[in-house]
Chains A and B, each alone.
Chain A
């Protein structure tokens, strides 16, 4: 991990029609970091990722990536620069095969670096042997866990310097969540920079180095994951009080 910021967001504001979802957010992701964003539903977490990745054009603010101003770039241009988003609900291409989904993930590299893509396929099959077994199956027929594996693989195939993940755990069994969280930690240990939006705050804080707590479209708290996980304020709001024995 270095101190060089890979992503610097200043004063980000996102609006949908009359409603303001993100009201002036500043955040930073340094090279090699795993940063978590946690907060309640409707707090603006997804909108922050949509703004950063260019799926929605920010109404104000600045997004610097690798030293370049990318605020007004479209989503596909940002992928070319090395930003990849794994969207909420996975959004795999359900009617195409698993293989097609992977090839589409490598869309930006398929022409100029086919050999590189194919060798990365092998790496991915090592991570997720299930995907190899189901290579020619329709992606929509995969189980929820397999779909998330496919979505992660698809995201990795653009060789992003920044991997953004929206709701890794959504609809997944505890065992799979655990596996995928471990996988993220390993990817990060190998140098992959990750920005993770996650509802299961304790899981996210367990693997992240730093985290932001979002509420009502603003950053309410920020700090190291360990510090936030220990903060009574965070525990109360997002982790809930310990359930009484029934």
Chain B
């Protein structure tokens, strides 16, 4: 969605919120609408967690309750007002949100959902049993009317507060979605491996998503407590958690408009269905089932998908990007520090199997170094170890003199190592351009506030990032596909996109894991030129490849692995003549791959 459309959306929402109180026929109607505003705040926060980070929380009512109880207790006992209790509640809820994020280190999907359910149940139960603090099943009554700096907020004034809060939450969540944080969340949910290899701290990003969803739920709790002036445990049950999740999914997870629509419908639907009496729950369930079956991406999600089918976005982006040097942030090729990768005595064992046995390898500055060997020789293990995905049992490796042994993948990436993947690990539901922009992640210097408010600094850097990404797409010749979702690209083009994405990190060393697999000879010739160009810019290349002709043509040095042991390391012509290598790798004919046997 363009910036223009978003601004129109924000303005339209503000106008609607200004008109509604004028049309409300009675206090009940206005109150119901205020409930919707509160639920929408929860749903928008949850949408960050579900729609972007791809995590499910069924414990949102627990966080909502934490906010409400914090406000109720502080205002009744210590005389806190609206603003001070909101701040306190947001802090409390955020802490619990961070706590809830911790299990994601180990569990995902349904297992995580179970943990969040447990959290919701614990909060609900604590509210019932901890009578001294929470008033037990009877709850807390006599919450004072909301006031700010001693000025009481009457019905309409409080409505104004809710409306402004909702607009702010809409703007902040929507802006975050279209910033490096939103991209990182989407990236982590679609391929954690790739995200980490781009320097994205996956645990940190998931914690951020949990904290945002917790903070908004806590804030909504405060607003609810002051609206109702009475709270009790039966307002924060498991079925409420389900309802909050449904709001996001029913409207269209990942979309701001959809979430608002979902929150609106699911706030009002039960009210309308009350006329059905006994059949109320039945009709509610049936309606949900039918709508989700007909509109599988949610109401707004499916409609906007249909709209895009009818009015497709052009696949190509016409704007010219930066030159390769500019995109990589290199003034002159000579500016680059020489980069050296040194691995010494690496040993990696899996159970009884020794995948790497005392392997040493050195990639000289700006060198193209090929690593070859039979399938199962340990090449992938080597690559996964030095890029931080496996821990070596012994040995060490360093990049430019910085010891990286045992560092997690995202820190290795931030130190200048970028990689591609044998079986391609793209962010399938992001566009080709967005994939490359995700690679730019750690080159932004704008902060969280810049992202929430879309400050000039944010806009300038995002524009720079976009131009760099377009430049890199131009380099790998994918400009024609810029707006296509990455998963629709043919396999060979996916490989090129991975190269562009890895380059977006502006790496010192580029590790290419079988870049020629599945390419035709013509395409391999283009790849050949690409790799030479990259090396000429001072980026060292470690190339894992089976395409012998390509290796012989471009590598300065070839290391051969067999059964986890280095059996040769020499210039290509020497390796090609080595009898052990011929035996282990080339096969008896010892011919380059493309020569007909």
Contact = CB atoms under 8 A, between A and B. Distances in A.
Contacts of A17: 309
B595 interface: yes
A171 B553 contact: no
B422 interface: yes
Contact of A89 (B423, B520, B521, B523): B423
Interface in A194-244: 199-203, 205-206, 229, 237-240, 243
B434 interface: no
Interface in A163-195: 167, 170-179
Contact of B595 (A41, A88, A176, A202): A202
Interface stretch (B84-92, B444-452, B456-464, B490-498): B490-498
A157 B77 CA distance: 75
A245 to B, nearest CB: 10
A42 interface: yes
Interface in B95-128: none
B374 A176 contact: yes
B23 interface: no
A41 B587 contact: no
Contacts of B519: 41, 199
Sorting the interface of chain B by its residue count into under 10, 10 to 19, 20 to 34 or 35 or more gives: 35 or more
A239 B521 CA distance: 5
A19 B595 CA distance: 36
A16 interface: yes
A40 interface: yes
Contact of B594 (A145, A170, A200): A200
B488 A19 contact: yes
A203 B375 contact: no
Contact of A175 (B350, B492, B586): B586
B578 interface: no
B596 A205 contact: yes
B587 A178 contact: yes
B23 to A, nearest CB: 41
A206 B593 CA distance: 12
The secondary structure that dominates the B interface is loop
B3 interface: no
A143 B564 CA distance: 13
B375 A243 contact: no
Given A41-B520, A145-B376, A171-B517, A206 B597 contact: yes
B587 A238 contact: no
Interface residues of A, number: 43
A206 B584 CA distance: 24
A177 B593 contact: yes
B523 A170 contact: no
B375 A176 contact: yes
B549 interface: yes
B10 to A, nearest CB: 31
A100 interface: no
A144 interface: yes
A19 B485 CA distance: 12
A206 B591 CA distance: 14
Given A41-B523, A167-B518, A178-B589, A203 B596 contact: yes
B374 A173 contact: yes
Contacts of A246: 553
Nearest to A245: B553
Contacts of A199: 518-520
A201 B492 contact: no
Interface in B393-452: 422-423
Contact of A173 (B375, B553, B589): B375
Contacts of B592: 174
Contacts of A171: 375, 422-423, 514, 517-518, 546
B273 interface: no
A40 B596 contact: no
Rank and list the top 4 A-B pairs by shortest CB-CB distance, nearest first. Answer: A143-B376, A41-B492, A240-B521, A175-B587
Interface of B: 309, 312, 350, 372-376, 422-423, 488-493, 514, 517-525, 546, 548-549, 553, 584-587, 589, 592-597
20 contacts: A41-B519, A42-B490, A46-B490, A88-B491, A88-B518, A89-B491, A142-B376, A143-B374, A143-B375, A144-B375, A145-B376, A146-B376, A171-B375, A172-B546, A174-B587, A175-B586, A199-B519, A203-B596, A229-B596, A240-B522
